Amino acid sequence: MLSAFWSRDFLLNRSFLWLLFIVNLLGTIYGYIWYEGQLADTLQHHPLWRIVFVPDSPTASLFFTLTLLYWLFPPRDPNRVAAAGRSVIEALGVVCSVKYGIWAVAMIVAGAWQGAELHWQHYMLMASHLGMAFEALLYYRFMRAGIAALLVGTGWLLLNDTVDYTFGIFPYLADELDDDLPAVRSFTYGLSIFSFAAAWLVWRFRKQA
């Protein structure tokens, strides 16, 4: 009976998709609000173009939310450019959600391990970010994005990593992790590759719809 909750019929049911869309949209909005201080600081001290690379998790959630819209309002007879754009958005929704979902939890746990105090918001963030990673891999089975689109998405992740750690606009860390920045940077790059590998495995073994 539990298998019914993993089925295409249940997961792509319009009522459930609407619920998922609302949850992800609200989470995306909350995420951008969470980054408000860092966005303002970046605008004040950095060139305008770097602002795109600041809000990592909410942008990942935004890509997945847009993917849900494709299922709720499927385009009729899209041209090749529109179809390619959809594939790239889907791929970004997958690899970014997996990467930043795991990254946020890892950084919270690492900070707590070294003595950072945890509040209820941290537990909420860990639950929501794990949900991001899980839902992305769960729904990738039904997406159109293939390996080429995943490579584009992973290229974006690596570019984001490079901009973050070259210009110091990576997400704020607990003070306890300040002396671990080289390890955090290496972990972040590695997680970008892991996210591609995880998505590739789902693509490789997913059942053809």
pTM above 0.85, yes or no: yes
Q: Does residue 1 register a pLDDT over 60?
A: no
What does the domain layout of the chain look like in residue ranges? 2-205
The whole-number pLDDT of residue 207 equals 52
pLDDT digits 0-9 by tens, 87-96: 999 999 999 9
From CA 196, how far away is CA 128, in angstroms rounded? 21
Phi, psi angle pair for 47, to nearest 5°: -60, 155
From CA 138, how far away is CA 83, in angstroms rounded? 21
DSSP per-residue codes, 39-55:
HHHHHHHS-GGGGGGS-
The whole-number pLDDT of residue 186 equals 97
Other beta carbons less than 10 A from residue 117's beta carbon: 9
pLDDT digits 0-9 by tens, 38-83: 999 999 999 999 999 999 999 999 999 999 999 999 888 778 898 9
pLDDT digits 0-9 by tens, 24-43: 999 999 999 999 999 999 99
pLDDT digits 0-9 by tens, 135-182: 999 999 999 999 999 999 999 999 999 999 999 999 999 999 999 999
Q: Does residue 2 register a pLDDT over 90?
A: no
From CA 108, how far away is CA 130, in angstroms rounded? 12
For the segment 109-120, the average pLDDT, to the nearest whole number, is 91
The whole-number pLDDT of residue 209 equals 45
